[in-house]
Amino acid sequence: MLGATVLERFAIAVASTLLALLLGSLVVAASGYNPVRFGYALVYGAFGSLSNVAFMLRQSTMLILAGVAVAVAFRAGVFNIGVQGQFVVGGFATALTVLFLAPHLPGGALGGVLLVCLGTVAAVLSGGAYAAIPGLMKAYADANEVITTIMLNFIASGVIFFLVNGYLRPPDAVAPNTQPFPDYVDLPSVAFASPSFSVIGLGIALATVVVAYVVVNRTRFGYDLVTAGHQQAAAAYSGVDPERNVVATMVFSGMIAGLAGAVFAVMILGYYSDPATFPRFGFDAIAVSLLAANNPLGVVPAGLLFGSLDAGGQYIDFTLNIPAELVDGIIGLVVLFVATPELFRMAGRHTGLGGRGSKESRSGQPESDGGDEA
């Protein structure tokens, strides 16, 4: 997709999503459910009430943050599939910081702000450090980062479950959960009366988008990062150390993933638990980033779209009894189609005169002629 223009990317993203939803509806119908009720419930679950909107925005906040983490790495040609693991590690660092420092700091609003800030710093640092491992392995041992990051996801989950279950779980607790954070450690609710969503969380996500965009597009570091991703030789010629660049990219990506972990721990959970039970934001974020053509700004609409799908999916699970996993499958289909822009280019060419594909072809075809150089 790197050679395509913005308009063509947009057309492909829209067409991929629609095609995936269409296939999802066919699966729904084939499984004996009513696809019209499915579609209605999907939309109602995301936008039907104020609390549904709050839930949708909460999922979107997480997907935007994790999506930016994925995007900055993909932008540099590094496949960070380990955002989930870095997110889990970051959240755990936040939980440790909050639980261990809370007795030593003043309570109330001041203590809350302090603990949230310190917890966030811990998350950012530990997320970056955890991402440095596959970065170093790729840079200096030529180990494929797709596989190392996936292995590190499993390892993060297993080790943190072991620590939470064995050392942080109160003796009388049934579930493998830590103590809850003190009440004052939370992002205050503004506008929505939801215990697990705060507009401040969404604000952090949007601020992160802006920072990532500026870093990628307006700084020396970002310039090196993107050139190294697209033109190895040119980057090396201009004095970029490719090994160091890979590590720096992973660390930058992991720091954002760690921040996502902090928001998850503070805003959504308010305690810490078995990471195997957490939502797979880090994986869905890969779809978010791809749909956004790995552009940090594009992650916002893509994150909102997948946040809506996610919220709608959970709604259909408990109202229509259609398993929410269906939405995960649909997200997988979106990734598959986004990976295959040629499918839509060909469809556009073949149905150039009217028909279902005319919208894609009209916006896609003229650009594809000029944009094929990559």
Give me the residues that bind another protein (CB under 8 A), please. 1, 27, 31-32, 79, 81, 137, 141-144, 146-148, 150-152, 154-155, 158-159, 161-162, 165-166, 276, 280, 283, 286-287, 290, 323, 325-333, 335-336, 338-340, 342-343, 346
One-letter amino acid at 39 equals G
Minimal distance, residue 238 CB to another protein, in Å: 25
**Dist CA 123 CA 263 (whole Å):** 9
- Residue closer to another protein, measured from CB, 100 or 162: 162
- Residue closer to another protein, measured from CB, 60 or 157: 157
Q: CA triplet 176, 150, 258: central angle to 5 degrees?
A: 65
**Are the beta carbons of 65 and 205 closer than 8 angstroms?**
yes
**Are the beta carbons of 294 and 74 closer than 8 angstroms?**
yes
Minimal distance, residue 237 CB to another protein, in Å: 24
Minimal distance, residue 247 CB to another protein, in Å: 14
- Residue closer to another protein, measured from CB, 242 or 323: 323
Residue whose pair of structure tokens reads 């259909």 in the numeric block: 316
Tell me the CA distances in angstroms from 205 to 33, 46, 261, 280, 371, one per residue in order. Answer: 36, 19, 12, 17, 32
**Dist CA 123 CA 121 (whole Å):** 5
**CA gyration radius for the chain?**
21
Minimal distance, residue 346 CB to another protein, in Å: 7
Minimal distance, residue 143 CB to another protein, in Å: 4
- Residue closer to another protein, measured from CB, 125 or 151: 151
CB burial class (10 A; 0-12, 13-18, 19+) of residue 343?
middle
- Residue closer to another protein, measured from CB, 93 or 333: 333
Q: CA triplet 203, 207, 209: central angle to 5 degrees?
A: 120
Minimal distance, residue 2 CB to another protein, in Å: 10
Which residue, 202, 191, 195, is CA-closest to 180? 195
Minimal distance, residue 222 CB to another protein, in Å: 23
Alpha helices in the chain (DSSP H): 6-30, 35-47, 50-75, 83-101, 108-141, 145-163, 199-218, 220-230, 232-237, 242-263, 281-291, 299-319, 325-338, 341-350, 358-370
**Dist CA 265 CA 80 (whole Å):** 22
- Residue closer to another protein, measured from CB, 146 or 206: 146
Residues contacting residue 116 through CB under 8 Å, at least 6 positions apart:
98, 185, 187, 262, 266
Minimal distance, residue 206 CB to another protein, in Å: 26
Residues contacting residue 7 through CB under 8 Å, at least 6 positions apart:
363, 364, 367
Minimal distance, residue 340 CB to another protein, in Å: 4
Which residue, 196, 126, 166, is CA-closest to 274? 166
- Residue closer to another protein, measured from CB, 142 or 172: 142
- Residue closer to another protein, measured from CB, 137 or 262: 137
- Residue closer to another protein, measured from CB, 81 or 266: 81
